[in-house]
Structure 1
Amino acid sequence: MTPICQTFIDHPAAWTARELGSRRALERPFSQAELDALSRLLDQTAGKAPQAVARDDVSQPALVALLGELRETIMRGRGAVLLTGLDPARHGPERLERIYWALGTHLGEAAVQSHAGDRLGRVERDDKDPVARGYRSAGELVMHTDSYEVVGLQCIRSAAHGGQSALVSSLAIHNALLREHPDLLPALYEGYYLAIPEARLGSKPVTDEKIPVFCCVDGQVSCMYAGSFMREAARQKGTPLPGRLAEALEAFSRTAEREDLALRFMLAPGEILLWHNFTNLHSRTEFEDDARHRRLLLRLWLTVPHGRPVAPEFGVRGAAYARVYRERLSSGAA
């Protein structure tokens, strides 16, 4: 357990919805020079599959400068950015995927997201998903973090109805809890075991380690939150959550959904949302598809060399997906 931060976090990543006002504060439109560079990239990599595009392929000066700006915003600034300006009428799904993957090669290394070994997740309804993962459903996903340091979502198609996205700063949540419920912070810093849905296909359905919700390393607060995974771990262990932790998780979730903190918006086809997973949580409302509108987003989980200093237990969650994939490969099940 790391030291508990007892001071108010004054940092661009501790933003609130009240301060930002609307999604426009997150928007970063592509310039014409950057769009021209993307067109050249598409031409130069046309012979490759989208996910075969490598970092060295993205050498156009306008794109290198853009990606440096994005890294600065994500890693040391506000922690979230919404790229706009890609025309889905001009760029079909394959070209959009190619652009998205290419940009990701400069922000980190794509990580395994499931037992199938995919490194570009398809966020869409799939009633045959053997694990019933939330991102493969049409149901509501409450505020949570994912498993790796940087996360991206690219909208390919919108739903017929619903599917609104939201972000909230975990640092702003920490500030609110420090003001209103400081007695609950120790339980969140101690954390609890996780029962990761995908892990039930492998050798460790519940983590051996407690995963903290908050940690403070080198003076920087970071967050990893999946309350439902903790509650499921307690169920599988046959023991109730520690009393203060149960109360703390409820307070955390209530705070994360507050209208003055959480920024809610729709993603349009072609738009790319990138954020630091250890300083932001995200959610999605329920959606409905129809024959002409089947919602599809593409997800990246990116590891970042020499990234934000965090408690080592944060790495356990992401490692579970890679372990399940390796075990299934070795067993011949994949």
Structure 2
Amino acid sequence: MIEMVSEQLKGPDVWLGRDLQARDDWVVDLDEDDIAEIDAALAIVKSHGATIPFDRELFPLDRLRATIERVFDLVSNGYGVALLRGLPRERYTPADCELIYWGIGCHLGTAVSQSPRGDMIGYVRDEGVSMGDPNARGYKTAGELQFHCDQLPTDILGLFCVNDARSGGESHIVSALAIHNVIRDEHPELLPHLYEPINVDWRGDEPEGQPPWYRVPMFSVADGKITSRFTNRFFVRSTMRHGEDLAPTSEQWAALEFAHSVAERPEMRLTMTFRPGDMQFINNHTTLHGRSTFEDWDEPHRKRLLLRLWVAVDDARRRPLSPLLDERYHWVSVGGIPRRDVA
């Protein structure tokens, strides 16, 4: 019998986007002293000739520690979302931005590999790929991204805006727990099917020796805490290229479709328009994120670029996870998605 929660969920991580949009206590501003400390830490890293990955000790942030702890608390124990704003992006090269973001991220937890290529920082930009390619990833396109979570090693997902788009590309966040409440209230018969494991396509990123798909429930529970693992429906549908028997049941598909339709409701979403220098951090277990289509600049040096971090949180501080998600512990222990030879 799969454990599930049928009661109404309550807490700071259960919210409607329209309510969060009207307040600003999820935005954390950097002041000039904070920026001076970041500059000093950056100078230390560069004086050592260090490259990513480097340890947090090489990027000391004593004064900023309380601010970073506030960000951590907002993400892990609060709304599940925080925006760190105020870094003067124009002062820094793109390479400096990577060092700064890595350094700050390391003070939140342990950054892990995001792909078989060993990417410790992901580059979210339009690379001209098409989702018609069976191994394409949405973050390498300029198209809309459906609401989803990132892969299992990730407790905190981070994005740093190096360059914004000419237009569009807004970031959308929804509370997965608020979606759970809507499903419970409007279609309770669908909820159990979201606690059943569903096959999801790795889209070419499977670790060595693993099948090209994995199984995961969209909702699971541990110690009374619900975790969401919602994925893009495209990744569920494309699993069938590996065998028709991997298709979700009609009940699972209906539940997925309804859950995503709830996420798309205007009142559910918090929308952010990134400014260069913005750092967004979200809880990968309690929120879903998506993106609107964007139009890019013609000049190569101005094209939209976000840096992505996957941060694993120390076991003593992270959200409890169901045994159905034990795969998370394995990937974290080996440093994220293991490197392998890829095209």
TM-score above 0.5 = yes
Residue 134 of structure 1: CA displacement? 0.9
- 1:50–1:70: structure 2 CA closer, same or farther, 3 Å change rule? farther
Specify the alignment match of 1:271 in structure 2.
Answer: 278
Q: Distance in 2 between matches of 1:217 and 1:324?
A: 24
Q: Distance in 2 between matches of 1:90 and 1:180?
A: 50
Please provide the CA RMSD for this pair: 2.5
Specify the alignment match of 1:99 in structure 2.
Answer: 100
Q: Distance in 2 between matches of 1:276 and 1:323?
A: 17
Q: Deviations over 1:81-130 (max 9, x none)?
A: 00110111222322222221111111121111122111100011123698
State yes or no: 1:303 paired with 2:308. Answer: no
Q: Deviations over 1:30-69 (max 9, x none)?
A: 1333222112212222223452442112433212222222
State yes or no: 1:46 paired with 2:52. Answer: no
State yes or no: 1:123 paired with 2:124. Answer: yes
Specify the alignment match of 1:238 in structure 2.
Answer: 244
SS at match of 1:19: helix
Q: Is the 8 A contact 2:16 2:178 kept in 1?
A: yes
Greater shift, 118-127 or 52-61, is seen at 52-61
SS at match of 1:166: strand
Please give the residue correspondences for 1:1-334 in structure 2 after superposition, counting only pairs within 5 Å. 2-22=2-22, 24-47=24-47, 48-127=49-128, 131-147=135-151, 148-199=154-205, 202-207=208-213, 210-226=215-231, 227-239=233-245, 240-292=247-299, 293-306=302-315, 307-314=318-325, 316=327, 319=331, 325-328=338-341
Unaligned runs of 5+ in 2: none
SS at match of 2:267: coil
Residue 22 of structure 1: CA displacement? 4.4
- 1:220–1:57: structure 2 CA closer, same or farther, 3 Å change rule? same
One-letter code of the match for 1:303?
Answer: A
Residue 181 of structure 1: CA displacement? 1.2
SS at match of 1:211: strand
Q: Distance in 2 between matches of 1:322 and 1:238?
A: 33
Using structure 1 for the length normalisation, give the TM-score: 0.90
Name the % identity: 32
Residue 26 of structure 1: CA displacement? 2.6
Q: Is the 8 A contact 1:191 1:245 kept in 2?
A: no
- 1:11–1:243: structure 2 CA closer, same or farther, 3 Å change rule? same
One-letter code of the match for 2:146?
Answer: V
SS at match of 2:52: helix
Q: Distance in 1 between matches of 2:155 and 2:336?
A: 18
Q: Deviations over 1:156-207 (max 9, x none)?
A: 0112222111000101111111111111111000131111113368543444
Q: Is the 8 A contact 1:117 1:322 kept in 2?
A: no
Q: Is the 8 A contact 1:113 1:322 kept in 2?
A: no
- 1:21–1:323: structure 2 CA closer, same or farther, 3 Å change rule? closer
One-letter code of the match for 2:242?
Answer: Q
